[in-house]
């Protein structure tokens, strides 16, 4: 395990505490993380410090749940700086470098977590609903689909 990305003790604690739910929760982390990274990038393009706070906060908490050091710290830096920008009524331009590094850090972290998930089964993720309200959810090995 890459100790620069993930604290091995925290990772093993999460595996132990989550037990059989570990793989499912890791799938949620993937979904939420992708969404959070996209929201952070969009907020930066929009120069909207307030819109940076929630997705960075979400990514921080979820990544630390799995022992992710680098992603948790980077997300926290984005969140706290964005909060400061909101308080000071300034733009988030100083975050450009951190935001630019976020996607790569998330991708590396997710790959490392999934690589160490061997033997626990495939990571199940849900797809966005294809159609309208009330469609039946069908879980497959590669995700969820609507029937």
In a domain, 134, yes or no: no
In a domain, 143, yes or no: no
In a domain, 128, yes or no: no
In a domain, 18, yes or no: yes
* For residues 52-57, average pLDDT: 98
Q: Which residues of 89-107 are buried (b: 16+ CB within 10 A; e: fewer)?
A: eeebeebeebbeebeebbe
Question: The domain spanning residue 89 has which CATH number?
Answer: 1.20.120.160
Identify the domain containing residue 42 by its residue range. Answer: 8-120
Q: What is the pLDDT of residues 76-133, one digit of tens each?
A: 999 999 999 999 999 999 999 999 999 999 999 999 998 887 654 444 444 444 444 4
- pTM recorded for the entire structure: 0.78
Q: What integer pLDDT is reported at residue 3 of this predicted model? A: 75
**Domain tally, the chain:** 1
In a domain, 28, yes or no: yes
């Amino acid at each position: 395990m890459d100790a620069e990305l993930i604290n091995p003790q925290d990772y093993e604690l999460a595996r132990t505490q989550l037990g059989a739910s570990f793989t499912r929760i890791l799938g949620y982390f993937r979904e939420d993380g992708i969404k959070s990274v996209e929201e952070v990038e969009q907020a930066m393009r929009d120069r909207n410090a307030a819109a940076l706070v929630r997705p960075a906060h979400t990514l921080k908490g979820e990544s630390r749940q799995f022992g992710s050091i680098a992603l948790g710290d980077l997300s926290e830096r984005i969140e706290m700086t964005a909060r400061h920008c909101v308080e000071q009524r300034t733009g988030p331009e100083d975050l450009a470098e951190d935001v630019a590094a976020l996607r790569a850090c998330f991708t590396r972290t997710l790959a490392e977590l999934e690589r160490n998930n061997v033997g626990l089964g495939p990571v199940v993720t849900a797809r966005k609903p294809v159609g309208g309200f009330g469609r039946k959810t069908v879980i497959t090995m590669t995700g969820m689909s609507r029937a």
